[in-house]
Chain A
Amino acid sequence: MALNLTRRKFLQTASLAAASAAMSGCFARQANASTPFVKKPFTAPGSFAGTKTAVGGVCEMCFWRCQLVGKVRDGKLVKLEGNPKSIDNGQSICARGNAGVKLLYDPDRLKFPMKNVGKRGAPEWKRISWTEALDECATKLKAVVDKHGPQGIAIFPHGSSAKYPMTFFENVVGTPNNSEASFFQCRGIRDTAYVATLGVAPGENVDMANAKAIFLLGGHFGENVHVSHLKRYLKGLENGAKLIVVDPRFSASVSKADIWVKIKPGTDTAFLLAIMNYLIKEGKYDKKYVAEHGKGFDEFSKGIAHATLKWAAKTCDVPEKQIKQVADMLAANAPNVSIHPGRHVSWHGNDFQRERALACLTGLLGAIGVKGGFVAGKGPKTGKAGWPKPMAEHAEKFALHKMAKVYKFSPPGTPTDLIRNAAVTGKPYAIKGFVAWGQNPIQTVPDQALTIKMLEQMDFVMVCDVMPTDITMYADILLPESSYLERYDHIQKGTQWNFADPHQQFISARMPLVSPTAADHERKESVWIMNELAKRMGYGEHIKVKSAEDMINTMLKDANLTIEQLVKEDGIHLQPGVDPYGKALDVEFHSAELAEAGYPAIPTYVPVPEPPKGFARLVYGRAPMHTFNRTQNNTWLHNEMPINPVWLNDECAKKMGLKDGDTIELVNQDGVKSRTSSVVKVTPGIRKDTVYTAHGYGTMNKAMTVGVGAGIDDQSLITKVAVDPETGAHGMRNNFVKFIKNGKVLSIPA
């Protein structure tokens, strides 16, 4: 009989033991003859003790993809660390990266192929074999293609492992209806706006580490964490760079800023135009750069002449002298300034223009190809592998935005809104097959009710993921995928993060850190799943790679590498790099291409709807311990921030009778209430017309036993969609909320 004593029991039984201690005399005699008490080790051994280091990990807790090593003991992953050989993240990984272990061993993970024998949205799951699952998926998807054409299928992919299935459906099946919503709603606008202005997609290619001034529009670094990205930012600050942050909220970045522009949401383009107009009027721009590389500068300067400091001050609710101060600070430090292109940029439906303005400001300051400016590192080359494109032309022909002649600057794929509308209305054609792969459209696309309506009218819904999410509740067949720690699937490459360091390039490939084979599950990697489906759907002849491993080896071939060689090199191949500086880019201040397409040829401010009386604008952002909804079920990450407090201005809170920490719900302008509650965070660090919370909380899937119902799902309150006319991306910050406390609706005072 073992003594299994918990502390609680220990305390509860203390009195009993104390009573028995009176008899201690007899015990003392017997003790000598007793068997020795066997102690268990009480100390965790630490990740360094008795572990083997597995190399070749590439993180996917977010999509920055830091390079990892795994500490493995007895076949179990004990800890993840940054790969010491990395010239990108180095030995550092973020909270989410560190918590990858808990995703790997999350008991709620999808384990077996499942068939929904209940309803979509209220599933009852029956375990089925892979053969049955694949047969059914293939039959049902093929039936859609046969009946409605390839365009009858919509795919919602996200992440490394979804790329192979995505290109299969686009290129081989031939559907244009690919909504990489998480890219589309995130960076898509930025990419097409910069391409239209500077000819290149910007990435996050600002050399912040060597900048004299850094300009962030809504960037909340610290709350938004990407390791090497933040290293650049922090290095810049350490070197004395001035930091200007434009944000309605006192964000993590504002707390380090020299200037906080507490802007009225939606007016950013007006702010940028006034800065540019002022710089031009005062002759404080880079005349040489503009003369050599500017296009349509005269039209541009005339076209923005109306944007005076006074006008912008009124429009943006920012002091006139502060706009001047920002402009002067940028000019004084030009050209070594980082005008950050932003990341999640679909805000108000006027976002393409704002991104254009940012690109123009970069050009106006001559901050291109120079230290601290807009500079892309020159990474190494690797090859491609995947699917041929027999049906690419068909897909192109049925692209909804092209058929309707709208959204001419749309990012790759089809605007989500058009896919959803076509599905719901059946016009211009029916969309009856739905595939989500690693994406949770319930929480990436506004108007959940409409998304659900789209799902309900489908003939077939297939979802493949690692974890249950809100979308998995709507699957007919649910397929379990191996996690990023158990599979091959991605080449990560780049340069050293600080361009001031010797120029280097790296190539790494995601390799399994632990074996996915275990008795209690049947997870598979995406290339296997997709190939099996392709064969069953009759597309077997197009298969070019046998497995994910084969795919990676093919891609490495062009770099004269193999997986084996990468392992020998501790997971990362390093080679000499090239100086990234010195490349100028032409700047389309006035774009004939845009004019021809019927859009404003110069960056233009388009006002956005104001909050109705009693409401404040709902703005959302990121928390450093979560990647949207994807990480909500991670025990460690949940523990760091279990709910998402809603920021409310302190003066408003006082008038509303709300105290910091009060439990609240939210209700939006359309009367939609949050399904769950959160707490209010009362702070002077936010405008009165704005409330803020972290995105991704409040999942409704009970299969996420840790995350379910925790905090408020901001997406559920985003029912009004603002569509960006150039790109078709959804602006998600034109929704307005009131608070509810104890069932009573509280208006927000102006």
Chain B
Amino acid sequence: MSQYGMIIDLEKCVGCHACAIACRAEWEVPTGKDSAERERRRNWVTRLGPTKTPKGLASTYYPGLCNHCDKPACVDVCPADKVEVTFTDAKSGKTKKMEVAATWKDPFNGTVQIDKERCLGCGACADACPYSARYVNEEESDPKADKCTFCVERVAEGLEPACVQTCLARARIFGDLNDPNSEVAKYVKKGAAKLESAKVKIGPNVRYYGNKKDMHLLTTTCTPQAMPQANLRRTIMAHMLKPAMDQVKGLGMLGLAGAVIVKGLSDDEKE
């Protein structure tokens, strides 16, 4: 079994933001409307410092993306109905059946993925992620949650993830953390660090490598210190709405409740 992961070598990174834009182009990532959305979407670079650290003045970057965690906080909160899915290992051809909601952790490559056909767009997963690495694509006519897929679709074609390919510094390194001969595994041995804290220990698989002062700056400012509070209202509503949504879809908008909902929506259009 593989666990895809990424290393970000801050000694090489020059903070050019090419990774973030390449990702945007590759997956048509919306730009978002407010600053919070802008900063944490699918693939981002945040400049840190210059600021004082115990190791001296430092300035570095927080290039971020989904961590494809060992225990992803986003998966269990998905309210979509579970269905049985057969997963196949790309290497051995082995298969495994699992009951999954609209988002899951792949049992063979360790990536966290979304089935956007079944996603309700409720945003519960985005709320649950302590790294703010998920978003709901509001620019779609039917908004769905989205996130970094580690470009598994590109990887399957023999390509590198879009952010890795464009990186002029070769500061992003992608590979299988479970393969001891991989470059990513070698970085782990050299001490590449996870952004984990006492209360946020969900096994991120993106790791950062850099000198002491840069790592001090990164870890003290960018490590989440608490798991996000679930958005109770949103969770309850998602659960309440889901059965009705299923029925509305099944009805093709026929029936009394459908008409009521449509009326509600057209009123909403007039706002």
Chain A interface (Cβ < 8 Å from any Cβ of B): 1, 3-18, 20-21, 23-24, 26-28, 30-31, 34-37, 39-40, 42-44, 46-49, 78-82, 89, 91-99, 101, 221-223, 225, 227, 230-231, 234, 237-238, 250, 252, 254-256, 624-625, 635-637, 639-642, 683-686
Q: Does B247 contact A (CB under 8 A)?
A: yes
Chain B interface (Cβ < 8 Å from any Cβ of A): 11-12, 14-18, 20-22, 24-28, 31-32, 38, 45, 49-52, 57-60, 116-117, 119-123, 136, 138, 140-144, 151, 153-154, 157, 159, 162, 165-169, 214, 234, 237-238, 240-241, 243-245, 247-257, 260-262, 264-265, 268
A5–B241 Cα distance when bound, in Å, is 13
| Contact B166–A35 (Cβ < 8 Å) | no
Distance in Å: Cβ of A242 to nearest Cβ of chain B? 15
A8–B18 Cα distance when bound, in Å, is 31
| Contact B117–A42 (Cβ < 8 Å) | yes
Known: A23-B256, A31-B251. A684 touches B22 (CB 8 A): no
Closest to B156 in A: A48
| Contact B50–A250 (Cβ < 8 Å) | yes
| Contact A13–B265 (Cβ < 8 Å) | yes
| Contact B49–A685 (Cβ < 8 Å) | yes
Q: Could you jot down 27 A-B contacts, CB within 8 Å?
A: A7-B122, A7-B138, A11-B122, A13-B261, A16-B261, A18-B237, A21-B244, A24-B243, A47-B162, A78-B25, A79-B26, A81-B165, A89-B168, A92-B167, A92-B168, A94-B16, A222-B16, A225-B168, A230-B169, A250-B49, A252-B15, A254-B50, A256-B11, A625-B17, A636-B21, A639-B31, A684-B50
| Contact A255–B50 (Cβ < 8 Å) | yes
Q: What 7 A-B pairs have minimum CB-CB distances, sorted nearest first?
A: A685-B50, A20-B257, A222-B14, A42-B116, A31-B250, A18-B240, A14-B237
A48–B151 Cα distance when bound, in Å, is 11
Q: Chain A residues with Cβ under 8 A from B255's Cβ?
A: 26-27, 30
| Contact B214–A255 (Cβ < 8 Å) | yes
Q: Chain B residues with Cβ under 8 A from A12's Cβ?
A: 264, 268
| Contact A98–B25 (Cβ < 8 Å) | yes
| Contact A47–B166 (Cβ < 8 Å) | no
Closest to A49 in B: B153
Q: Chain A residues with Cβ under 8 A from B244's Cβ?
A: 17-18, 20-21, 24
A20–B246 Cα distance when bound, in Å, is 12
Distance in Å: Cβ of B129 to nearest Cβ of chain A? 16
Known: A15-B237, A37-B249. A98 touches B169 (CB 8 A): no
Which of B121, B159, B260 interacts with A16 by CB under 8 Å?
B260
Q: Chain B residues with Cβ under 8 A from A6's Cβ?
A: 138, 141-143
Q: Chain A residues with Cβ under 8 A from B245's Cβ?
A: 17
| Contact B59–A40 (Cβ < 8 Å) | no
Q: Chain B residues with Cβ under 8 A from A642's Cβ?
A: 38
A350–B265 Cα distance when bound, in Å, is 67
Distance in Å: Cβ of B86 to nearest Cβ of chain A? 20
Q: Chain A residues with Cβ under 8 A from B121's Cβ?
A: 5, 7, 10
| Contact A27–B240 (Cβ < 8 Å) | no
| Contact A95–B247 (Cβ < 8 Å) | no
| Contact B26–A46 (Cβ < 8 Å) | yes
A18–B18 Cα distance when bound, in Å, is 44
A446–B66 Cα distance when bound, in Å, is 45
Known: A11-B237, A48-B159, A636-B31. A93 touches B247 (CB 8 A): no
Q: Chain B residues with Cβ under 8 A from A256's Cβ?
A: 11
| Contact B260–A20 (Cβ < 8 Å) | yes
| Contact A46–B260 (Cβ < 8 Å) | no
Known: A27-B255, A46-B154, A684-B50. A98 touches B22 (CB 8 A): yes
Q: Chain A residues with Cβ under 8 A from B154's Cβ?
A: 46, 48
Which of A15, A635, A686 interacts with B31 by CB under 8 Å?
A635
A230–B167 Cα distance when bound, in Å, is 11
| Contact A28–B168 (Cβ < 8 Å) | no
Q: Chain A residues with Cβ under 8 A from B248's Cβ?
A: 3, 17, 27
| Contact B166–A92 (Cβ < 8 Å) | yes
| Contact B250–A27 (Cβ < 8 Å) | yes
Which of A91, A255, A624 interacts with B17 by CB under 8 Å?
A624
Which of B58, B122, B168, B243 interacts with A10 by CB under 8 Å?
B122
Closest to B58 in A: A255
| Contact B141–A17 (Cβ < 8 Å) | no
Distance in Å: Cβ of B271 to nearest Cβ of chain A? 9
A227–B247 Cα distance when bound, in Å, is 54
| Contact A13–B264 (Cβ < 8 Å) | yes
Which of B15, B240, B252 interacts with A34 by CB under 8 Å?
B252
Which of A3, A11, A44, A98 interacts with B21 by CB under 8 Å?
A98
Known: A3-B248, A28-B247. A9 touches B50 (CB 8 A): no
Known: A20-B257, A639-B32, A640-B20. A43 touches B116 (CB 8 A): yes
Q: Chain B residues with Cβ under 8 A from A82's Cβ?
A: 165-166
A717–B153 Cα distance when bound, in Å, is 49
A1–B162 Cα distance when bound, in Å, is 38
**Residue among B22, B166, B256, B257 with most chain A CB within 10 A:** B166
A306–B21 Cα distance when bound, in Å, is 51
A683–B57 Cα distance when bound, in Å, is 10
| Contact A101–B26 (Cβ < 8 Å) | no
Which of A20, A42, A625, A636 interacts with B261 by CB under 8 Å?
A20
A254–B24 Cα distance when bound, in Å, is 29
Q: Chain A residues with Cβ under 8 A from B142's Cβ?
A: 4-6, 40, 42
Distance in Å: Cβ of B269 to nearest Cβ of chain A? 9
A635–B25 Cα distance when bound, in Å, is 12
| Contact B251–A79 (Cβ < 8 Å) | no
A565–B240 Cα distance when bound, in Å, is 64
| Contact A234–B12 (Cβ < 8 Å) | yes
Which of A254, A624, A686 interacts with B16 by CB under 8 Å?
A624
A28–B27 Cα distance when bound, in Å, is 37
| Contact A252–B17 (Cβ < 8 Å) | no
Q: Chain A residues with Cβ under 8 A from B250's Cβ?
A: 27, 31, 34, 37
Q: Chain A residues with Cβ under 8 A from B144's Cβ?
A: 42
Which of B25, B140, B168, B268 interacts with A101 by CB under 8 Å?
B25
Q: Chain B residues with Cβ under 8 A from A49's Cβ?
A: 153
| Contact B59–A685 (Cβ < 8 Å) | yes
| Contact B25–A42 (Cβ < 8 Å) | no
Which of A3, A11, A15, A683 interacts with B49 by CB under 8 Å?
A683
A502–B110 Cα distance when bound, in Å, is 40
A98–B262 Cα distance when bound, in Å, is 41
Closest to B144 in A: A42
Distance in Å: Cβ of A618 to nearest Cβ of chain B? 19
Closest to A623 in B: B17
Known: A16-B260, A16-B261, A35-B252. A98 touches B268 (CB 8 A): no
| Contact B21–A637 (Cβ < 8 Å) | yes
Which of B60, B136, B234, B247 interacts with A31 by CB under 8 Å?
B247
A378–B141 Cα distance when bound, in Å, is 54
Distance in Å: Cβ of A10 to nearest Cβ of chain B? 6
Which of B58, B60, B265 interacts with A9 by CB under 8 Å?
B265
Distance in Å: Cβ of B78 to nearest Cβ of chain A? 15
Closest to B29 in A: A44
Q: Chain A residues with Cβ under 8 A from B143's Cβ?
A: 6-7, 10
| Contact B49–A95 (Cβ < 8 Å) | no
A636–B18 Cα distance when bound, in Å, is 11
Q: Chain B residues with Cβ under 8 A from A31's Cβ?
A: 247, 250-251
A23–B52 Cα distance when bound, in Å, is 62
Distance in Å: Cβ of A533 to nearest Cβ of chain B? 36
